[in-house]
Amino acid sequence: MSTIHVSVTVNGERREADVEPRLLLVHLLRDTFGLTGTHIGCDSSNCGACTVHVDGMSAKSCTMLAVQVDGREVRTIEGMADGAALHPLQQAFWDQHGLQCGFCTPGMIMQAAWLLEQNAAPSEGEIREGIAGNLCRCTGYVNIVKAIQQAADTLRAVDAPAEPATAG
């Protein structure tokens, strides 16, 4: 069996592996690197549970080969929290009950993170279009949308310089 050597930066850390060309990115992450936070749902690029970022762009990792990401940067749900401190999106999904079973959640959060990088203040409609490639089969989407709105507010407050106090 011929293998190809790949070197991938995953959540800031360089990882290496010898892989068969047909190995999918999602299997590289889960089986080779042990990062099982990325889920396999439909395995046919419909459901979005396997969404990760590749070079900053959200991607369905069930429809990408591991060899395609050689030399690239991958970010997964495991790269979101800062130690024990949840990422604002993770905190918002908690606060707003943006999940029930949690199966779609890693993909939802990674897609929402990409969306907020493109558009820091999305409307409800823009959020719904932004997660159109991610399916949730239990909560419906109302609380997921609320969670993304909350995270957008939090992230904007963090990024914005403190407003100068107005006189009077």
Q: Which is nearer to another protein, 125 or 161 (CB)?
A: 125
The count of other CB atoms within 10 Å of the CB of residue 70 is 15
40: which 2 tokens?
């396999």
> Rounded distance, CA 148 to CA 128, Å?
10
Cβ 163 to another protein shortest distance, Å: 31
**Terminal-residue alpha carbon distance, the chain:** 76
- The strand pair at 57-60 and 51-54 is best described as antiparallel
Cα 65–144–57 angle (5° rounding)? 30
Q: How many CB atoms lie within 10 A of CB 59?
A: 21
CB of 138 or CB of 157, closer to another protein: 138
Q: Whose Cβ is closer to another protein: residue 27's or residue 146's?
A: 27
- Tokens encoding 112: 């929402």
The residue ranges that bind another protein (CB under 8 A) are: 2, 4, 20-24, 27, 43-46, 48, 51, 54, 57-60, 63-65, 67-68, 70, 111, 114-115, 129-130, 132-134
What is the closest distance, in whole angstroms, from the C-beta atom of residue 135 to another protein in the complex? 10
Q: Where are the beta strands (DSSP E) in the chain?
A: 4-10, 13-19, 51-54, 57-60, 73-75
Nearest CB to another protein, comparing residues 17 and 86:
17
Closest to another protein by CB, 21 vs 97, is 21
Query: Whole-number minimum distance, CB 35 to another protein, in Å?
Result: 18
